[in-house]
C-alpha cells in the first residue's frame, strides 16, 4: 500500500472517530437540554397549581364546600407535579416542594379567616422556598 492508501485509511478513521464523538456529545447535550426543559415545565406547573390553590382559597370563606372541590383538585395537581420534580431535581427541591404541599393542606383545613390568612402567608413563604431551591438546582442564583 502506498502513501495515498494510508492517507485514505487515516482520513476514513478520523472521520469515523469524529462522527462517533460528535454523536455522543450531541446526544448528551440534547439529554441535558430535555432534562432542563422538563424540570422548568414541572416547576412552573407546580407553582402555578400552588398559586391557583391560594387564589381559590382567598375567593371564598374558609370551609366553603363549593371551593373545597376546587382546592382538592389543585392539591392533586400539585402532588402530580411534585412527582415529576422527584424524578428531575435534588432532595433540597423535593423537601421544599413537600413542605409547600403540606402548607397547602393547612390552607384547605383552615376553618376561620385568621387561620386562612396565616396558612396563606405560610404557603407564600413555602413558594419562595421552592423557587429558591429550584433556582439553586438550575444554577440560576
CATH number of the CATH domain containing 112: 1.20.120
Burial 78-112 (b: 16+ CB within 10 A, else e): beebbebbeebbeeebbebbbbbbebbebbbebee
The cell 435534588 sits on which residue? Answer: 90
6 within a domain of the structure (yes/no): no
- Domain tally, the chain: 1
26 within a domain of the structure (yes/no): no
What does the pLDDT read at residue 23? 66
Q: Which residues contact 77 (CB under 8 A, 6 or more apart)?
A: 45, 49, 52
**Residue 79 banded pLDDT, cuts 50, 70, 90:** very high
Helix segments in the chain, DSSP class H: 3-59, 65-88, 91-109, 113-137
What does the pLDDT read at residue 41? 92
Residue range(s) defining the domain that contains residue 117: 34-137
- Give the global pTM: 0.77
Query: Residues 8-67: pLDDT tens digits?
Result: 676 666 767 666 656 655 667 777 787 788 889 999 999 999 999 999 999 877 777 778
18 within a domain of the structure (yes/no): no
7 within a domain of the structure (yes/no): no
What's the rounded mean pLDDT across residues 81-102? 94
Give the CA distances from residue 18 to residues 14, 26, 29, 31, 32, in Å, rounded to whole numbers and listed in that order: 6, 12, 16, 20, 21
Amino acid at each position: 500500500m502506498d502513501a495515498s492508501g494510508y492517507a485514505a485509511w487515516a482520513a476514513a478513521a478520523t472521520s469515523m472517530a469524529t462522527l462517533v464523538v460528535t454523536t455522543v456529545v450531541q446526544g448528551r447535550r440534547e439529554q441535558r437540554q430535555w432534562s432542563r426543559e422538563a424540570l422548568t415545565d414541572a416547576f412552573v406547573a407546580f407553582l402555578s397549581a400552588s398559586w391557583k390553590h391560594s387564589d381559590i382559597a382567598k375567593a371564598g370563606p374558609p370551609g366553603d364546600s363549593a371551593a373545597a372541590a376546587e382546592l382538592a383538585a389543585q392539591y392533586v395537581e400539585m402532588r402530580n407535579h411534585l412527582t415529576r420534580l422527584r424524578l428531575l431535581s435534588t432532595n433540597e427541591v423535593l423537601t421544599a416542594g413537600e413542605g409547600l404541599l403540606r402548607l397547602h393542606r393547612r390552607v384547605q383545613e383552615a376553618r376561620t379567616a385568621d387561620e386562612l390568612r396565616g396558612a396563606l402567608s405560610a404557603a407564600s413563604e413555602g413558594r419562595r422556598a421552592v423557587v429558591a431551591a429550584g433556582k439553586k438546582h438550575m444554577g440560576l442564583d
